[in-house]
Chains A and B, each alone.
Chain A
Amino acid sequence: MKSASKNITLIAIVFLLFPQLLWAMGLRSFVALPIEEGGHVIRLIAEQNKRPSNTYLSANYAYGISAKQTLLLSLPYRLSPSGSERTGNISALYRHIIWQNDSPNSTTRIGLLGGAVLATKKERDSSIQAGIVSSFYQQRYEFDADILYRQGLGNNKNTGRYDFSWQYRLSPAHYPEWGSTSEWDGVIELNGRYLEGNSTTHQITTGLQWIHKQWVLEGGIFHDLNNKHNTGLLLSTRLHF
């Protein structure tokens, strides 16, 4: 009973300290690619972990303030295990592209990230966060890399993350002359998650994305390379309007 209670507390802490901001064209990484000025993207993610066993949803929203400026919001909600702490904290990130180099067949971009994790309950504390993201795209593949650090305020622990994501267009081999067709991308990522007082958990993620002009359907599996050797499943959809 005591260990179950301890697990639930730990889940709550992790859940509260890791509001997932999973905005990317990678599965779990950030991305430095643009949303057009005035554009909106909504992303819904369902994630299930085996150890510790928990399932949660997150609602993510991105808004194009301008071609170089994007606002990213995320709110997680835990489905299981049961308990009073279900709604996580709201993560708000501002992304500013500071360098961009476009050519006919490629693009390279670097962006800065900054914002806060805002407590949604009085008894919780907030955090501030800052990081950097870069994206490189050429022909059929894309690399994204990011690092983000969250400084906990009050009783909140410090957390951090890094992601390296590689996506490759499996199909089609060639785009049509005009318009766009749907495409299938394979994804492989190396992710790291740090929580103060614990060693960094390194993970590998593999997945598939079915990409259309206005929507994406995607899924993946991630596995801890160290620590708890947890395995998790992720399903997500995005809508661009």
Chain B
Amino acid sequence: MKSLLSTIIVLFSLLFISSTAFSKGADGAPSDIYEMNVNGMTCPFCVYGIEKKLNKLAHVKKARVSLKQKKVQIEMEHGQIFNEDEVRKVITDSGFTPGKLL
């Protein structure tokens, strides 16, 4: 009984750790995908730089920009940690202002 209880506790702990290691995205959003608001974006030609630099970040599977929703979406390689500070720096280095992580 004791060993069964211990096993259950370990299992639940592992499940908890694995779920918090990934997404901080919106409720219901798939894991490994993160979105952040960006202020100051204008036309496609002007925002190409953000997309280019985000896609060059290590462990980023795919990054894309939404001029309509004024945000960027970053899909990380499965199991990789999302570095919010690094993404904020990329947006700033591209000439725009990062907003809230969604």
A residues within 8 Å of B by Cβ?
25, 33-37, 39, 64, 66-68, 97, 100, 102-107, 137, 142, 169, 174-183, 185, 211-216, 238, 240
Contact = CB atoms under 8 A, between A and B. Distances in A.
B84 interface: no
A97 B49 CA distance: 17
Given A35-B49, A39-B49, 14 more contacts: A33-B42, A34-B49, A66-B93, A102-B96, A102-B97, A104-B70, A104-B99, A175-B67, A179-B64, A180-B67, A181-B44, A182-B44, A214-B48, A216-B45
Which label, helix, strand, loop or mixed, suits the secondary structure of the A interface? loop
Interface in B27-55: 37, 39-53
Interface residues of B, number: 31
- Centre residue among A66, A211, A212, A213 by max chain B CB count within 10 A: A213
- Centre residue among A39, A97, A182, A211 by max chain B CB count within 10 A: A39
B49 A213 contact: no
B69 interface: yes
Contacts, number: 98
B93 A37 contact: yes
A182 B73 CA distance: 20
Contacts of A240: 45, 48-49
Given A33-B46, A105-B70, A214-B48, A67 B39 contact: no
